[in-house]
Structure 1
Amino acid sequence: MRAIRLEGVGRLALREVETPVPGAGELLVRVGACGICGTDRHLLRGEFPAAPPVTLGHEFAGTVEAVGPGVAAFAPGMTVTGDPNIACGRCPECHRGRVHLCRNLRAIGIHRDGGFADYVLLPEGQAHRLPDGFDPVHGAFTEPLACCIHGMDIAAIRPGETVVVLGGGLIGLLVVQLARLAGATRIVLVTRSAEKRVLAERLGATETVDPATGSVEDLVAGVHGLLPGGADLVVEAAGVRDTVEQAPRLAARGGRVLLLGVLPQGEKVEIEPFDLLFREVRFLTSFVNPFTHARAAALIASGAIHVKPLVSRRIGFEEGVAAISNKAPGGEIRAIVVP
């Protein structure tokens, strides 16, 4: 079969490899679609730890081709999406129910072969059903949505609150929709992309702001003009140093800042503790998707979360290698590799 292989830092190639055979408790999934995440680019650049040689791709959906011994809940022909994060179940964090903080956490597409291939092996416990015949391109959004749901669980948004979202990429646009479903009355999305501002307002943002039209002080004043006193919740969804530093300045007294965007390992930011302390602004962080993958699949399958407008392009393996190896084009939300 074909697979996009990370062979070392800066080395990515399309290879012919053996089709895997499902072992006990495993599904062999024919991949229907796999999304290109910023994490894949970080892995290629060596900014996140990986275990090459390995097939990349952790946002995938497809059809069960075969099952290994002992698999009871799945059968060939079923449409599934895979939760890539595999906890050991034995360490102290797992015993506390914090499986995403497992000391032995391993991820499909990072530590073991992933979804940029014709087939992927998926442990039964990591598989979640989608409706029969569901478009796998839409199913490939389950993993990023699951990560956003975990973040919103931590943020504990309440009906009637106000939200600012920094970043108009996939995560920001999913957060806009989750905030709308949670009952936020004002949702302000901040992005330089005019196309993404228009799309955000279609998906539930009540206002959008272009941060490129002035200084940081102008941005802060503009947001406070829309939301006097600042927002109850500010979500950093861009993974950029500047927006992390801006986020607390956009929060109201007693407000929260949620970090969802991922900065490269080692990146530092400047924060003023005095300001956080005297306004009691809480900094929250969110990591991956503990027990939220099934909820994400249900939201996408029901149509409560709209993912069709988030597909920028569908590409093949050869284009996929080039897309991962280069910065995403301006305005792109998500490129999906379709075998």
Structure 2
Amino acid sequence: GQVNLCSNLRAIGIHRDGGFAEYLALPQKQAFVLPAGLNPLHGAFCEPLGCCLHGVDLAGIKPGSSVVVLGGGVIGLLTVQLARLAGATTIILSTRQASRRALAEDLGATVTIDPTAADVIDAIAGPVGLVPGGVDVVFECAGVRETVEQSMRLARAGGTVVIVGVTPQGVKAEFEPFDLLFRELKVLGSFLNPYTHRRAAELIASGTIEIDRLISRQVSLEEAPAVIANPPAPGEVKVLVVPRRG
């Protein structure tokens, strides 16, 4: 069934103590044996990659598809790689930080855009944009109102929008229902990572997904509260908490 949509869902790290500890008790069905030889630091990416896999599964990317990824954090950069593997031939990533744009191009984005330097809608879907009329699939991976609103204007008629980013509860975004109706847009939410952990682990263990370049730095458990309480440093993608590091 759709376990991620269960009304009794109890998420580790939200409803019960999570993984920022040396030891953790959890239900057996939520424990996965990592492939032999997999670097444990890489294994930490099974959860976010599993979330991205679920979103890409929902999107139904076909060979030759055009894709926009909004947001250049770890979710956006993993989604770029999965879109390439799914057969997308045009992959456009929009993010403010130049270092993340450069990394995205190394990981498979065919072009990147700085949303502070150009109007994203015109630059991508405008009459003289990169893909006039819009793309087949848009992944919203930033979790902010601005990109949620942009996502529906970047998809072509009959296109698909997948909301992967976690927008704070209570935030409202504006859209025009007639536009969704008239252009037959498919807007999907992608929540958690049901049944995708094992696939994620296999993709990482095989080297198919680049992980090392997504790890910006490692910190100890003692350093974790300060890291979590502050915004990422410029250029940071993912900070890993490693017990007994020191």
| TM-score, shorter chain, exceeding 0.5 | yes
In structure 1, what is the equivalent of residue 62 of structure 2? Answer: 158
Name whichever structure is richer in strand by fraction.
1
Q: Which of residues 123, 144, 149 in structure 2 aligns to 1:222?
A: 123
CA–CA distance in structure 2, aligned partners of residues 175 and 335 of structure 1? 18
How many pairs does the alignment contain?
240
Q: Larger deviation: 167-176 or 223-232?
A: 223-232
CA–CA distance in structure 2, aligned partners of residues 190 and 111 of structure 1? 33
| 8 Å contact kept, 2:35–2:202 | no
Shift of 1:334: 0.7
Shift of 1:134: 2.2
| 8 Å contact kept, 1:235–1:260 | yes
CA–CA distance in structure 2, aligned partners of residues 325 and 281 of structure 1? 37
Shift of 1:126: 1.3
Equivalent position SS for 1:165: strand
Q: Structure 1: which amino acid aligns with 2:193?
A: N
Segments of structure 1 that go 5 or more residues without pairing to the other structure are 1-96
Q: Which runs of 4+ in 1 moved over 4 A?
A: none
Equivalent position SS for 1:184: coil
Q: Which of residues 154, 158, 161 in structure 2 aligns to 1:257?
A: 161
Shift of 1:128: 1.5
Shift of 1:133: 3.8
Q: Which of residues 242, 245, 270 in structure 1 aligns to 2:149?
A: 245
| 8 Å contact kept, 2:35–2:201 | no
Shift of 1:278: 1.1
Q: Structure 1: which amino acid aligns with 2:116?
A: A
1:174 pairs with 2:78:
yes
Shift of 1:312: 0.8
| 8 Å contact kept, 1:316–1:338 | yes
Equivalent position SS for 2:234: coil
Equivalent position SS for 2:158: strand
Shift of 1:228: 2.0
1:89-238 equivalent positions in 2, closer than 5 A: 97-214=1-118, 218-224=119-125, 225-238=129-142
1:55-94 equivalent positions in 2, closer than 5 A: none
In structure 2, what is the equivalent of residue 290 of structure 1? Answer: 194
CA–CA distance in structure 2, aligned partners of residues 132 and 290 of structure 1? 23
CA RMSD of aligned residues (A): 1.1
Q: Larger deviation: 263-272 or 132-141?
A: 132-141
The one-character-per-residue Cα deviations of 1:302-329 (angstroms, maximum 9, x if unpaired) are 1111111100110011211101112222
Q: Which of residues 257, 262, 269 in structure 1 aligns to 2:173?
A: 269
Equivalent position SS for 1:172: helix
CA–CA distance in structure 1, aligned partners of residues 35 and 183 of structure 2? 47
Shift of 1:227: 1.1
The one-character-per-residue Cα deviations of 1:115-137 (angstroms, maximum 9, x if unpaired) are 11111123321122223342111
Q: Structure 1: which amino acid aligns with 2:200?
A: A
Shift of 1:163: 0.1
| 8 Å contact kept, 1:258–1:284 | yes
Question: Which of these two proteins has the greater Rg computed from alpha carbons?
Answer: 1
Q: TM-score, normalised by structure 2?
A: 0.94
Q: Larger deviation: 160-169 or 326-335?
A: 326-335
Q: Structure 2: which amino acid aligns with 1:308?
A: D
Q: TM-score, normalised by structure 1?
A: 0.69
Q: Structure 1: which amino acid aligns with 2:120?
A: L
1:317-332 equivalent positions in 2, closer than 5 A: 317-332=221-236
1:305-316 equivalent positions in 2, closer than 5 A: 305-316=209-220
Segments of structure 2 that go 5 or more residues without pairing to the other structure are none
CA–CA distance in structure 2, aligned partners of residues 299 and 226 of structure 1? 30
| 8 Å contact kept, 1:128–1:297 | no
